[in-house]
Amino acid sequence: MTEETIQSAAGRSSTPKAFRASAKSKPDTLRMLNSRSNGTKFAQSQKQLGWQPHSMRVAISRLRFSGLPIEFDQTDKIAAYRVVSGEDQ
């Protein structure tokens, strides 16, 4: 090995980064956002979760497929989703 390789390897931290386990997964967070009384705007959820638009649509479809009644509302070209409770149906 060269002197530079040895120095760069020595400069690395030997301890691994701390693993932060989140209390909720991203799909659980999406479910929570959509369960609010007014639901959530698509762009707002996308930004909060850090997902691409196609990933958001897939996640919402999976929530629907799991039996969660989700309502789509598009007002003034702003898409919003919310969980429909038993009283709202």
DSSP one-letter code for 8: H
Q: Max alpha carbon distance in the chain (Å)?
A: 71
What pLDDT digit, counting tens, does each position of 41-73 carry? Answer: 999 999 999 999 999 999 999 999 999 999 999
Evaluate the CA torsion angle 80, 62, 30, 17 in order and state its sign: negative
- What pTM did the predictor assign? 0.66
What pLDDT digit, counting tens, does each position of 67-83 carry? Answer: 999 999 998 989 999 99
Q: What is the CATH number of domain 27-89?
A: 1.10.10.10
Domain boundaries, the chain: 27-89
What pLDDT digit, counting tens, does each position of 5-41 carry? Answer: 555 555 555 554 444 445 489 999 999 999 998 999 9
